[in-house]
Structure 1
């Protein structure tokens, strides 16, 4: 074999050796990186949240293991389901001798992780009597689970509308439902207003972005608790949040969102709150069109119908038929609808701030 051939073989051998060494170094570096990341995750978890995902969470929140949850929920038995939202199923169970609500978020990785993070970063920091309390969480593999205080009387929409009559409705009333009195409805809406005013006036405000009857829970005293912060966002400056995705529920969603606005503000919550006021007073769904008058072929939505009725001073006719008129003061009802229509103004800048709404509601006599 001549010197040229030997040189070629030597060069090839050197190349393979160098490539092998380089590959080995990459493998060792990657292992070191993974080992370092594992040491920065929360203790006690099998596959915990990386520090980058959990750094802004309240450290006092309890981590609960998946085996504990499987045992408590009987492997997430359908018999324990008390709620079915767009972000996951909610189960009633007992943990550490306390009845709690457990929400298992969507199995879709992106959706589940996004809603989990939103709730942990917003609801995990809030402490107010009219906002549901988050007690703990579980983050294992692809599973994201949130644990809340259990609110005895379920959601507001279950009391306003007979949602249990649907065969597809997985929620069940825990107590017999009677028509809500005007005084109770006023108490509930005042509670929601207090909770929103608290959120909007934090040093770093939080917007909910999905205020509606199904996201208001009622305790045994019918105090309101705002729930489901899966769409909530922290707003760092100017009380607004830039988003490329429309958020909310049809019927409650402010018109500027539907027209393509990419900035979500506290006044978006105010609009949804105004629609909720109309719903709680009339007992009518805001997201379903209906015929305003008998024989009328044109369908309208709740907000449009309410404006027409208020313009003709027919506020008492708007009230839910289940509300007793005995001793009911018309002046208070008129003021209630005046506040509701102000909040539900199509013009964003004409809506009052929630702090002002609280004062106005407190001025209504029952």
Structure 2
């Protein structure tokens, strides 16, 4: 009996000792991983403190000036949400008005990746791509400086048409005049501008996929010229590759169907699909992420649009806010036809952006007609 008790005690001791050893190993691993994670911010702050760069030789940028210009990033200076951070309006000491995006702390994983991304963006010189003027970093704060767009985003023009008496010096996102509906010609000008910018990006020796084309990322200047913005999800396709392997990303309603299956090989055709959705949105005034009632059931915007085109009901699809005076049915049908091509289910069946731009320009008598009586800007 005594011998049996000793065996039980020894077994219990071994069991407890093994468990204590396992707990110690788990604790040591976790501590090591935690310490390794902590070393990144410390390493980052040691090399990123007070670094800034300007891509305009006439412009000098410092974090101190940007803080002063935005009143230390005061909420009243906010003019939009750029997806990876808030956007502020500011007037620099030299009198230049700029848009400043203050990135969220985890928007980029490391200092070197952030700087490489900025240097790549500064080389995207095209009339339909927003110009980045420079950046600043101070410890974990990372700030981008962009050219200022007087008309704000396309999203605001499609949906936020209410008048406001707010001081336009603080925010252009709610100017002191009412935004009248965009005419059909202006909507087509915007569509062509986005197509032009994407064609340029996809045609580079090292093509760039935006991966998040949507109405809020389309900025408009005083003449309603398009400037594609927000490249936080953009990826390059190396010359030897036809795709980039990455996690599916984008905005609900604009993402291509291949993403639903967890497809990780992303090509430029993902942008083509998003552009087609944007075309439907601009023409109809309907948000892509909201369902549309079709034959008594709720369906996606693209499904509804293709059904309507199949029934030859394109004119019924046009945003009710668009004046029918002078609206040419043939051009409306051409617009929806191109959008249907861009939103085909299989990526390989979609046209490239260069072909899309060619089709958009084919039946245009004058590229970029604008109704100057449509809207007036605050002085």
Query: Which of 279, 282, 291 in structure 2 is aligned with 1:280?
Result: 282
Q: Equivalents in 1 of 2:193, 2:358: separation in Å?
A: 12
Query: Which of 142, 145, 154 in structure 2 is aligned with 1:144?
Result: 142
Q: Equivalents in 1 of 2:60, 2:276: separation in Å?
A: 37
Corresponding residue for 1:236?
A: 238
Can you list the C-alpha shifts for 1:236-288, whole angstroms capped at 9, x where unaligned?
A: 13331111x22101100011122111011110000000000000000000011
Pair 1:276–1:283, CA change in 2 (3 A): same
Pair 1:252–1:163, CA change in 2 (3 A): farther
Query: Which of 96, 101, 106 in structure 1 is aligned with 2:99?
Result: 101
Corresponding residue for 2:368?
A: none
Corresponding residue for 1:209?
A: 211
2:174 maps to 1:173 = yes
TM-score (norm 2): 0.76
Query: Which of 194, 197, 210 in structure 2 is aligned with 1:195?
Result: 197
Q: Equivalents in 2 of 1:109, 1:332: separation in Å?
A: 41
Q: Is the 8 A contact 1:87 1:112 kept in 2?
A: no
Q: Equivalents in 2 of 1:171, 1:98: separation in Å?
A: 15
Pair 1:171–1:242, CA change in 2 (3 A): farther
Query: Which of 268, 271, 282 in structure 1 is aligned with 2:270?
Result: 268
Can you list the C-alpha shifts for 1:175-217, whole angstroms capped at 9, x where unaligned?
A: 5311000000000000000000000001111110000000000
Paired residues for 1:269-348 under 5 Å: 269-293=271-295, 296=296, 298-348=297-347
Q: Secondary structure at the match of 2:331?
A: helix
Corresponding residue for 1:77?
A: 74
Query: Which of 127, 151, 154 in structure 2 is aligned with 1:153?
Result: 151
Pair 1:59–1:76, CA change in 2 (3 A): closer
Q: Equivalents in 1 of 2:242, 2:119: separation in Å?
A: 17
Q: Over aligned residues, Cα RMSD in angstroms?
A: 2.8
Pair 1:139–1:288, CA change in 2 (3 A): same
Which range moves more in the overlay, 194-203 or 81-90?
81-90
Pair 1:120–1:360, CA change in 2 (3 A): same
Q: Is the 8 A contact 1:218 1:225 kept in 2?
A: yes
Corresponding residue for 1:64?
A: 61
Corresponding residue for 2:354?
A: 355
Q: Equivalents in 2 of 1:91, 1:213: separation in Å?
A: 19
Corresponding residue for 1:8?
A: none
TM-score (norm 1): 0.79
Corresponding residue for 2:38?
A: none
Q: Equivalents in 1 of 2:113, 2:293: separation in Å?
A: 37
- Measure how far apart 1:352 and its partner are: 0.5
Q: Equivalents in 1 of 2:161, 2:139: separation in Å?
A: 34
Q: Is the 8 A contact 2:202 2:208 kept in 1?
A: yes
Q: Which runs of 5+ in 1 are unaligned?
A: 1-36
- Measure how far apart 1:63 and its partner are: 6.5
- Measure how far apart 1:117 and its partner are: 5.2
Pair 1:172–1:92, CA change in 2 (3 A): same
Q: Is the 8 A contact 1:158 1:164 kept in 2?
A: no
Q: Is the 8 A contact 1:84 1:171 kept in 2?
A: no
Q: Is the 8 A contact 1:118 1:230 kept in 2?
A: no
